[in-house]
């Protein structure tokens, strides 16, 4: 890893949480300069534009969320336990201190009408996340844990929308109350899936 590669990564690491919090338009190069204690020349020596930083910041955040989700899932053995672990991760993601919301939600809402490149990345992240849910359900069906009649894709779409909506509300209200209710509903539904 060359110096430049390390610096690039360092800049992304510092910039990502700021962009996730303040938005792409709301974050200035100066914000990034201050956060990294570098200079503008140094930042632009490693990146071509602010847009490139935003794109890599989104990739970085999504990768980190994905890693956290995998780690959470690995704590469960059965499909149901894996789903429970995922739910717990989402809840901790809202109740934890240094968290600024789901990057897929934050970048997606801003990029929707303004940044096609980011929009494409967000769409891929949505599909990936939903397929994580669907794969767990399918594994549970194959192992005999869940009924064969369960629609894995439909559950994934529904659960993802509910959780994203619930996290968004929880962050805005400064309370996990509604997210907890939504997670309870999902757990009850998974309970009904069991045979």
Q: Where along the sequence are the contacts to DNA (CB under 7 A)?
A: 2-5, 7, 27-31, 38-42, 44-46, 48-51
Q: Choose the one of DNA, a second copy, none that binds residue 175, judging by a C-beta under 5 to 8 angstroms depending on kind.
A: none
Q: How far is the CB of 79 from DNA (least distance, A)?
A: 45
Three-state secondary-structure class, residue 143: coil
Question: For the stretch 55-89, what's the b/e string if a residue is b when 16 or more beta carbons lie within 10 angstroms of its beta carbon?
Answer: bbbbebbbeebeeebeebbeebeebbebbbbbbeb
Q: Which is nearer to DNA, 5 or 112 (CB)?
A: 5
Cβ neighbours, 10 Å, residue 2: 7
Binding segment for a second copy (CB under 8 A), chosen from 74-82, 85-93, 108-116, 133-141, is: 108-116
Q: Could you say which residues in the range 160-189 bind a second copy, by CB under 8 A?
A: 160-166, 168-169, 171-173, 178, 181-182, 185
19-91-69-107 Cα dihedral, nearest 10 degrees = -20
Closest CB to a second copy among residues 12, 163: 163
CB of 178 to a second copy, least distance (A): 5
CA distances to 17, 85, 128 from 191, rounded to whole Å, are: 36, 15, 24
Q: What residues form DSSP beta bridges with 146? A: 194
Contact footprint for a second copy (CB under 8 A): 21-23, 25-26, 100-101, 105-106, 108-110, 112-114, 119, 122-123, 126, 154, 157-158, 160-166, 168-169, 171-173, 178, 181-182, 185
């Amino acid at each position: 890893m060359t110096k430049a590669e390390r610096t690039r990564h360092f800049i992304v690491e510092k910039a990502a949480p700021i962009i996730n919090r303040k938005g792409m338009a709301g974050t200035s190069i100066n914000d990034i300069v201050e956060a990294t204690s570098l200079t503008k020349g140094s930042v632009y020596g490693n990146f071509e534009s602010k847009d490139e930083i935003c794109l890599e910041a989104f990739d970085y955040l999504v990768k980190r969320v994905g890693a956290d989700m995998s780690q959470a899932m690995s704590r469960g053995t059965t499909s149901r336990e894996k789903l429970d672990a995922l739910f717990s991760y989402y809840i901790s993601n809202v109740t934890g201190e240094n968290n600024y919301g789901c990057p897929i939600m934050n970048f997606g809402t801003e990029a929707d009408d303004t940044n096609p490149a980011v929009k494409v990345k967000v769409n891929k992240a949505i599909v990936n996340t939903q397929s994580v849910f669907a794969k767990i359900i399918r594994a549970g069906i194959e192992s005999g844990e869940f009924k064969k009649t369960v629609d894995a894709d439909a559950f994934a779409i529904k659960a993802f929308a509910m959780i994203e909506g619930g996290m968004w509300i929880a962050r805005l209200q400064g309370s996990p109350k509604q997210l907890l209710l939504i997670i309870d509903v999902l757990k009850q539904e998974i309970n009904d899936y069991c045979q």
